Structure 1
Amino acid sequence: MTPSITDSAVKAAIAAIASESATMEEKIQMLIEIAQGFQKKPKTAQDLRNAVSLYYRAYEMCGEEYTLLKARAQVGMAGTLQIIPDVGTELLLQAKVGYEEALPTLQQLALPEEVAEAQMNLGLVLQSLVPFNLARITDSIQAYHEALRVFTWQDYPQEYAILYNNIAIAYLSMPLASEREYLRQGLAVQSFEVALKHINLIDHPREYAMLQNNLGNALQYLVSSHPLENNLRAIAAYNEALKVRNPKDTPLEYANTISNKANALFNLPDDPEKPENGNSNNLLQAHNYYQEAWQIFTQHQQIEQAEVVAQALQDVEAEMMS
């Protein structure tokens, strides 16, 4: 793709750099830095396209002389392409090529953290392409594991948590024969639990809540001969997430977790020791959670999520009436 430079801000930036009494290397670096500004704080999708244009201009200016800057421009382009809203796969495929072409140079010349970040983002791109049969989930998991060589829990806890979260979700999406379903789900649960050994509530609350919420989801739908035990563990995980997530500070995350918890309560007897006594109390609690989640999703115009919760609300009301 050869981006067209149409935005006046981009043209002005390029003109200003062209008039600078700077070296070619400095001009390339300036273009990359301006592109990063568009990429990191975009106000519209056009800002992201502007970033791609600037990265591409920097890439062209590198020629064969500035190989590391050329790789950085490619990575910048790829990172921007993967976050531009797009209904198809064209931009993701371009991002994939960008990362794959840049990584050998980065591995030779860049800092390990720069390489790991590119591997992490390549993993995300590959994972996004899997549903279209344009990438393999095992390649995505491998890219994440490569990044984990650098992004350790001691030095980079946030990246570490995100990587293990992504690995777990990747395992959950692996197509396996039904008799091996338990294997991928077990690997996902294990991935969350590995991360939670090091990511704690006090030091990394946001990542802790994310991992606990997603662990709860994995446990709730785990194929097992102990569904009751898994549901109880799932609810415990959701409760941990709710120590961080609340309707004031993180309303959408909170709504997501309480609706997940409601799903677990729907299938949980009030007294696990006496399941024959039913679950009227848990159904009532699930109903209240669904109602609250629906209100939050509706208020924040999350239409699709609101519709899913509205259907669950109807289901729980029907169950309460039966």
Structure 2
Amino acid sequence: MAIGAEEQVRTALAAADVETARPEERAEMLMEIAVGLQIKPKSVDEIRAAIDLYNRALAICPSSHALLEARIRARRATALQAIPEEGSASLELARDGLEAAIPNLREHGSAEELAEAEMNLGLVLQGLSSAGKARIVDAISAYQRALRTFDRAAFPTEYAILQNNLATAFLSIPFTDERSKMREALAVQAFEEGLKVVNVIDHPSEYAMLQNNLGNALQYASSSHSVENNLRAIEAYDEALKVRSRKSAPLEYANTISNKANCLWNLPDDVEDPASGNRLNLAVARKLYAEAREIFASAGEAGKARIVAEALDQIDRETLSVAPLRETNGPMHEAE
């Protein structure tokens, strides 16, 4: 743990160690200080320090204060979600904490607290599902329960985020049965539903996220209308790029221009005459890939830089051989 985080923990413990304070007051104070550590943490050490404070708060919280205990568990879960790790231990702890907290939040807490916990549970379950340790349908159910409170009228930001989460959950289900196309359609519908309540001025981050992910959903849909979908995807990426710039959000910008490049790679220059090829779109795609590779490399994202470099090499081979238009899975397909 970094010295700064250690000092904050010592300060928090000293502040909470007041003889005249009741245990529940001390527990609540530790929780509030931990929440403060989670806001824009400078390092993972501050997240770990917050988790330590939550654990100490739980240790002294009286069993008679069920709502306070539930709030501490729910907050600790959000900190556990933020821990970068190879395995899934932290996510499993977060799941257990949320599942323990939700019944008490349902009985004693506010509707908003419960909905927030359900939304976070959905995220945790979605993360665990990729490791085979949870069912994606349970994540979808948690998101849908959260939507009972976080409706489009009163909570537009939360509503939009939940629609994005639902869509990415639908898309994460393997396309191995006859319902695959229906899930793709539901994902596109959810992205579009989220975009009905956010705009580029008031909710720029959510707007860009939804537009980027809508573009991905359209681009990779198994549809007989691939050209039409790709044109719509280009429009969505361009909308995302109204927010995501190389200066303000370089990695998000690089992801989006990579997605746009892949879309152009599969789009004929003249949609009315697909047989004429796509050399012009390939040239634009190559330029976008080159910029994305530079950004990824400078940010230390070696894996993404390598994938984009491979796409550049393939484009160069196609351009030299005057290859016909063909389909590709492409290098980028990031939900963010």
TM-score by length of 1: 0.93
Instruction: Give 1:99's aligned residue.
Output: 98
How much has 1:320 moved relative to structure 2?
Answer: 0.9
Deviates most, 119-128 or 104-113: 104-113
* 1:61 alignment partner AA: I
**Matched-pair identity in %:** 53
Instruction: Give 1:156's aligned residue.
Output: 155
> Residue by residue, what CA displacement relative to the aligned partner does 1:99-126 show, whole Å, maximum 9, x if unpaired?
0000011111111111111111110000
> Residue by residue, what CA displacement relative to the aligned partner does 1:118-151 show, whole Å, maximum 9, x if unpaired?
1111100000000222111111011111111222
Instruction: Give 1:206's aligned residue.
Output: 205
Structure-to-structure mapping, 1:162-311, within 5 angstroms: 162-311=161-310
* 1:298 alignment partner AA: A
How much has 1:187 moved relative to structure 2?
Answer: 1.4
Name structure 1 gaps, 5 residues minimum: 1-5
How much has 1:97 moved relative to structure 2?
Answer: 0.6
How much has 1:172 moved relative to structure 2?
Answer: 0.5
> Residue by residue, what CA displacement relative to the aligned partner does 1:158-212 show, whole Å, maximum 9, x if unpaired?
2222111111110001134244321221111111111112222233222111111
Question: In structure 2, how many angstroms separate the alpha carbons of the residues matched to 1:244 and 1:42?
Answer: 24
How much has 1:261 moved relative to structure 2?
Answer: 0.7
Question: In structure 1, how many angstroms separate the alpha carbons of the residues matched to 2:243 and 2:37?
Answer: 31
* 2:79 alignment partner AA: T
How much has 1:226 moved relative to structure 2?
Answer: 1.2
Question: In structure 1, how many angstroms separate the alpha carbons of the residues matched to 2:224 and 2:172?
Answer: 21
Question: In structure 2, how many angstroms separate the alpha carbons of the residues matched to 1:208 and 1:230?
Answer: 19
1:56 equivalent in alignment to 2:36: no
> Residue by residue, what CA displacement relative to the aligned partner does 1:32-72 show, whole Å, maximum 9, x if unpaired?
11111222243332322221221112112123211111111
Instruction: Give 1:144's aligned residue.
Output: 143
- Structure 1 counterpart SS, 2:130: helix
Question: In structure 2, how many angstroms separate the alpha carbons of the residues matched to 1:47 and 1:267?
Answer: 44
CA RMSD between the two structures: 1.7
Instruction: Give 1:87's aligned residue.
Output: 86
Question: In structure 1, how many angstroms separate the alpha carbons of the residues matched to 2:90 and 2:272?
Answer: 53
Count of aligned positions: 317
Question: In structure 2, how many angstroms separate the alpha carbons of the residues matched to 1:205 and 1:49?
Answer: 30
Question: In structure 2, how many angstroms separate the alpha carbons of the residues matched to 1:288 and 1:226?
Answer: 26
Deviates most, 47-56 or 186-195: 47-56
Deviates most, 156-165 or 215-224: 156-165
* 2:85 alignment partner AA: D
Structure 1 stretches of 4+ moved >3 Å? 6-9
Question: In structure 1, how many angstroms separate the alpha carbons of the residues matched to 2:247 and 2:15?
Answer: 45
* 1:152 alignment partner AA: D
Name structure 2 gaps, 5 residues minimum: 322-336
The answer on whether the counterparts of 2:160 and 2:193 sit within 8 Å (CA) in structure 1 is: no
Question: In structure 2, how many angstroms separate the alpha carbons of the residues matched to 1:89 and 1:155?
Answer: 34
How much has 1:287 moved relative to structure 2?
Answer: 0.7
How much has 1:20 moved relative to structure 2?
Answer: 4.5
Deviates most, 57-66 or 127-136: 57-66
The answer on whether the counterparts of 2:160 and 2:206 sit within 8 Å (CA) in structure 1 is: yes
Higher relative contact order (CA 8 A, sep 6+): 2
Question: In structure 1, how many angstroms separate the alpha carbons of the residues matched to 2:78 and 2:254?
Answer: 29
